[in-house]
């Protein structure tokens, strides 16, 4: 197997780097959230955005969604779908963060499990960067075959 | 032709999204049903949580806590931030902020089994940290947790033993 198109042209190369970076982030975030679902549901509740009936469901589903997205991004499978969901998730996280930062709530971010740091503007910038990376991957990713002929 | 291609791409992306969502749902439900610390899928109750959080944590007086401290039957838990802790704390106290309570549960359970009483404190009569750490520990199954209100000030003014720096 021969490596080609690496590192130039740069755009597919950066799409690959972003794809793998997002995969690592999602894998880590998903595993951290799975460890203690009870505490993670409290972290979701603290955002005061979801009705009680949806909180546990989201606390159970979201970590697995992140892990499946991570596996798709690593494997180069269903990348368009994974990148779409990734950008949608980061956009939702950013909206939730903004809403509570403006309201002045002093709550745990819950970004990487129940015991992440308190929400702040840096986390919002970080989410928006990940959102941009997801869009970049969606548009420019060429899959593993582009690099391994 | 171009429009067809575009709508095909949209459709294939949509199908991929559905596949990922259903895979996640499948694994999430299966894993949650077999794990030991599972949660009911639709059973969250904010009312129960608020009630749990509002349950009173017992308080302890300065003299009671000092007696138990001198008899080596008590562990002080400093709920303030690490910088304040480094500047000065009750001698022998451990530093546990509310957010970090879960990290200390295993070691505190051992001490609890040995019969130790835990007393959380922070600085000032309105300081919420001692209560928050006490709640976090109680919720995770640590028993015998008490709060010494305005603990650091009282202890310092009484001239009881203190120390500085990290542990």
In chain B, the residue whose alpha carbon lies closest to the alpha carbon of A77 is B16
Please indicate whether, in this complex, the C-beta atoms of A37 and B39 are within 8 angstroms of each other: yes
Claim to verify: residue B60 and residue B39 sit in the same structural domain: no
CA torsion B68→B69→B72→B75, rounded to 10°?
Answer: 110
Confidence of residue A114 (pLDDT cuts 50, 70, 90): low
Q: Which residue, A11, A12, A19, is CA-closest to A148?
A: A12
- The pLDDT, as a whole number, for residue B53 is 64
Claim to verify: residue B65 and residue B28 sit in the same structural domain: no
Claim to verify: residue B118 and residue B57 sit in the same structural domain: yes
Collect all residues of chain B within an 8 Å Cβ-Cβ radius of residue A61: 24-25, 28
Claim to verify: residue B154 and residue B75 sit in the same structural domain: yes
Average pLDDT over residues B6-32: 95
Give the CATH number, domain containing residue B155: 3.40.250.10
Q: Which SS3 state, helix, strand or coil, does residue B119 take?
A: strand
Claim to verify: residue B80 and residue B39 sit in the same structural domain: no
Is A103 or A149 the better-scoring residue by pLDDT?
A: A103
Instruction: Provide the domain limits for residue B103.
Output: 52-163
Helices A52-75 and B2-34: angle between axes, nearest 10 degrees: 120
Domains in chain B: how many in total?
A: 2
Please indicate whether, in this complex, the C-beta atoms of B31 and A42 are within 8 angstroms of each other: no
Collect all residues of chain B within an 8 Å Cβ-Cβ radius of residue A117: 99
Beta strand B162-163 with B89-90: parallel, antiparallel or unpaired? Answer: antiparallel
The verdict on B52 touching A (C-beta cutoff 8 Å) is no
Q: Has residue B1 got a pLDDT over 60?
A: no
Average pLDDT over residues A58-72: 97
Q: What ipTM does this complex have? A: 0.92
Q: What are B34-73's pLDDT values in tens digits?
A: 998 889 999 888 887 777 666 678 889 999 999 999 999 9
Claim to verify: residue B61 and residue B94 sit in the same structural domain: yes
Q: What are B148-166's pLDDT values in tens digits?
A: 988 999 999 999 999 988 7
Please indicate whether, in this complex, the C-beta atoms of A53 and B24 are within 8 angstroms of each other: no
Confidence of residue A106 (pLDDT cuts 50, 70, 90): low
Q: What are A46-60's pLDDT values in tens digits?
A: 888 999 999 999 999
- The pLDDT, as a whole number, for residue A73 is 97
Which residue is listed with tokens 């010494």?
B148
Claim to verify: residue B34 and residue B57 sit in the same structural domain: no
% of chain B with per-residue pLDDT over 70: 95
Confidence of residue A9 (pLDDT cuts 50, 70, 90): confident
- The 10 Å Cβ neighbour count of residue B109 is 15
Claim to verify: residue B39 and residue B57 sit in the same structural domain: no
Confidence of residue A81 (pLDDT cuts 50, 70, 90): very high
- The pLDDT, as a whole number, for residue A115 is 64
Claim to verify: residue B31 and residue B56 sit in the same structural domain: no
The C-alpha angle with vertex B131 and arms to B143 and B157, in degrees rounded to 5, equals 105
- The pLDDT, as a whole number, for residue B120 is 94
Claim to verify: residue B137 and residue B78 sit in the same structural domain: yes
Claim to verify: residue B32 and residue B105 sit in the same structural domain: no
Please indicate whether, in this complex, the C-beta atoms of B44 and A63 are within 8 angstroms of each other: no
Which residues are within 8 A (CB) of A82 and not within 5 positions of it... i.e. 6 or more apart?
A68, A69, A72, A73, B16, B20
Claim to verify: residue B24 and residue B87 sit in the same structural domain: no
pLDDT averaged over chain B?
A: 88
């Amino acid at each position: 197997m021969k490596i080609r198109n690496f590192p130039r042209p740069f755009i597919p190369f950066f799409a690959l780097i972003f794809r793998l970076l997002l995969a690592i982030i999602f894998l880590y975030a998903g595993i951290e959230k799975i460890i203690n679902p009870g505490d993670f549901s409290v972290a979701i509740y603290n955002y005061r955005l979801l009705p009680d009936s949806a909180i546990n469901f989201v606390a159970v589903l979201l970590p697995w969604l992140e892990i499946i997205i991570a596996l798709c991004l690593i494997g180069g499978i269903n990348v368009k779908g994974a990148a779409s969901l990734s950008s949608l998730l980061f956009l939702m996280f950013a909206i939730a963060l903004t809403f509570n930062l403006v309201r002045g709530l002093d709550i745990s971010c819950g970004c990487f499990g129940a015991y992440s740091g308190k929400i702040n503007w840096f986390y919002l910038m970080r989410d928006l960067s990940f959102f941009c990376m997801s869009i970049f991957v969606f548009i420019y990713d060429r899959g593993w075959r582009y690099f391994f002929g | 032709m171009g429009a067809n291609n575009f709508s095909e791409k949209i459709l294939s992306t949509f199908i991929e999204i559905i596949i990922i969502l259903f895979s996640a749902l499948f694994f999430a439900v299966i894993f949650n049903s077999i794990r030991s610390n599972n949660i009911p899928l639709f059973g969250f109750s904010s009312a129960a949580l608020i009630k749990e959080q509002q349950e009173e944590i017992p308080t302890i007086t300065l003299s009671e806590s000092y007696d138990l401290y001198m008899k080596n039957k008590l562990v002080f838990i400093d709920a303030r931030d690490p910088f304040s802790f480094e500047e000065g704390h009750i001698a022998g106290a451990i530093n546990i902020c509310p957010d970090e309570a879960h990290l200390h549960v295993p070691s505190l359970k051992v001490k609890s089994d040995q019969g130790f009483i835990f007393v959380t404190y922070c600085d000032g009569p309105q300081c919420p940290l001692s209560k928050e750490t006490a709640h976090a520990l109680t919720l995770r199954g640590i028993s015998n947790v008490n709060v010494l209100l305005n603990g650091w000030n009282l202890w310092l003014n009484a001239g009881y033993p203190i120390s500085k720096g990290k542990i």
